[in-house]
């Protein structure tokens, strides 16, 4: 199943995805003017970064609420 390409440091493998997801990947790759392979690699690499961004966004929201609460209490 796996075929290594030591000269490029890559591994080829096969996955099954829905036709809907395939269409989305094809369209996204076309918008970026790159291959479906490049689109999938981009998404896989972006996954952890997006999770970190979401966590930071939640933490910022919590901090904003704390600041607003303190500002409201200090005006009493």
Domain-embedded: residue 49:
yes
Q: What is the DSSP string of 14-55?
A: -----HHHHHHHHHHHHHHTS-HHHHHHHHHHHHHHHHHHHH
Domain-embedded: residue 39:
yes
pLDDT of residue 29: 97
Phi, psi dihedral angles at 11 (to 5 degrees)? -130, 135
Domain-embedded: residue 69:
yes
pLDDT of residue 4: 59
The total number of structural domains in the chain stands at: 1
pLDDT along the chain (76 residues), means of 10: 69 93 97 96 89 92 94 75
Q: Which domain holds residue 48?
A: 19-73
Domain-embedded: residue 2:
no
Phi, psi dihedral angles at 15 (to 5 degrees)? -130, 160
């Amino acid at each position: 199943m796996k075929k290594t390409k030591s000269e490029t440091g890559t591994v080829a493998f096969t996955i099954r995805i829905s036709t809907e997801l395939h269409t989305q990947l094809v369209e996204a790759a076309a918008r970026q003017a790159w291959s479906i392979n490049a689109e999938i690699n981009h998404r896989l690499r972006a996954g952890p970064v997006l999770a970190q961004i979401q966590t930071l966004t939640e933490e910022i929201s919590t901090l904003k609420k704390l600041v607003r609460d303190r500002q409201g209490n200090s005006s009493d």
